[in-house]
Chain A
Amino acid sequence: ELKVEQNPLFLSMQEGKNYTIYCNYSTTSDRLYWYRQDPGKSLESLFVLLSNGAVKQEGRLMASLDTKARLSTLHITAAVHDLSATYFCAVGPIIQGAQKLVFGQGTRLTINP
């Protein structure tokens, strides 16, 4: 059974600092997603990573994927308050026809001025 674990689950940081959220998954997968959720809102797709070594960046966020280590990271550079949200990673299993994503528990990020 595919399991996805994120850490930390809660993160409070100051503006201007850098930090990394980790996403570990238990079985081989062919795709990994990062989503953002603001309080009371829906999930917004941030990145889709499809191959080993994939790196994607948008603004102050950068995501990478190491399929051998079964690990993805979401790196935040010089954090700003607007990035406060809950971040989820989700993994899709390599099972043809089994179309479901398994989500991590989410990392609640709070950025303080």
Chain B
Amino acid sequence: EAGVTQSPTHLIKTRGQQATLRCSPISGHTSVYWYQQALGLGLQFLLWYDEGEERNRGNFPPRFSGRQFPNYSSELNVNALELEDSALYLCASSGNRGAVEKLFFGSGTQLSVL
């Protein structure tokens, strides 16, 4: 069974550009979570999608947005990139809405903003 897959693995952008990151959850999982892991700051919760809707959001500006598609895959968009957006972006999925029994993480997308 395939795990959570993310693409691309690495992404290099310049300040002011837009970045799009993609995530495919484990088959049968309906919830997708996005986390930012910046150097020295640990993991910060970004967004939670379930059944196609945004359910919760972390303390990030509106230029961080995303969506979830009917097949439960998800996209994270970061507009007007800033240098401090450089980080590893991790996607996770779970199958128990409202339970968060276990999150399964993807390998992440390393975003570098120059």
Q: Which residues of A contact B (CB under 8 A)?
A: 31, 33, 35, 41-45, 48, 88, 90, 92, 96-106
Contact = CB atoms under 8 A, between A and B. Distances in A.
22 contacts: A31-B100, A33-B103, A41-B107, A42-B105, A42-B106, A43-B90, A43-B92, A43-B103, A44-B105, A45-B103, A45-B104, A90-B43, A97-B55, A97-B56, A98-B56, A99-B100, A101-B45, A101-B103, A103-B35, A103-B42, A103-B43, A104-B42
Interface string B85-102: 000001010000110111
Tell me the interface secondary structure of chain B in the complex.
Answer: strand
Interface size range on B against A: 20 to 34
A53 B22 CA distance: 39
A88 B45 CA distance: 14
A96 B98 CA distance: 7
Contacts of A48: 101-102
Contacts of A44: 105
B100 A43 contact: no
Contacts of B66: none
